[in-house]
Amino acid sequence: MAPALSAEAVLNRTDDIVTEQAGLEGPLLPILHAVQAAFGYVPQETLPLIADRLNISRAEVHGVVSFYHDFREAPAGKHVVKLCRAEACQAQGADALADHAKARLGVDFHGTAKDVTLEPVFCLGLCACGPAALVDGRVVGRLDAARLDEILAGFGA
Ligand code: FES
């Protein structure tokens, strides 16, 4: 695992990102995506800097980070399992699968246990093969509890 960056290094990198993206129309989302790409999540300490540089309120930045499921407010585990929560997958058992995953890991969505982060995602374009999931960036269709257990066991979870 890469060593943690100092708070100063995080802010310096964020400042560079804001400078690179500030000229875009509607720069907040691209900036937040770039910050997450740089650090793996959007560190709380970057929010005041982003707000000040864009001349918007901190509450506005925080609202966007918490509204979009793509943004993490804490570092993810080594593995990320995203379960589709959209309608077609729900009709194919996604709710029960989500309950199973939460119970097995002992966390809710956005939680991390045993180096696995559980996240919701809303439609992976695999609606006919639900429940669908994204496991470390790989799309998995027709996921059931047994297959999910195998995947998690493979991660040591
Ligand atoms: S609804 Fe789950 S992949 Fe489309």
Each residue's pLDDT tens digit, 127-136: 999 999 999 9
Tell me the pairing of strands 116-121 and 79-84: parallel
CA 109 – CA 120 distance, rounded (Å): 6
Q: How far is the CA of 60 from the centre of ligand 1 (A)?
A: 30
- Residue 140: pLDDT over 90: yes
Which of 69, 83, 84 should be mutated for ligand 1, with most atoms under 8 A from CB?
84
Architecture category of domain 79-154 in CATH: 3-Layer(aba) Sandwich (3.40)
Q: What is the pTM of this model?
A: 0.81
Residue 70: predicted pLDDT: 85
Query: With a 6 A CB cut-off, is 134 part of the ligand 1 pocket?
Result: no
Q: Supply the DSSP symbol for 111.
A: -
With a 6 A CB cut-off, is 83 part of the ligand 1 pocket?
no
Cα–Cα distance measured from residue 14 to residue 31, given in angstroms and rounded to the nearest whole number = 8
Mean per-residue pLDDT for 144-148?
97
Distance (Å) from CA 130 to ligand 1 centroid: 6
The verdict on the CB of residue 130 being under 6 Å from ligand 1 is yes
Tell me, using a 6 A CB cutoff, whether residue 86 lines ligand 1. yes
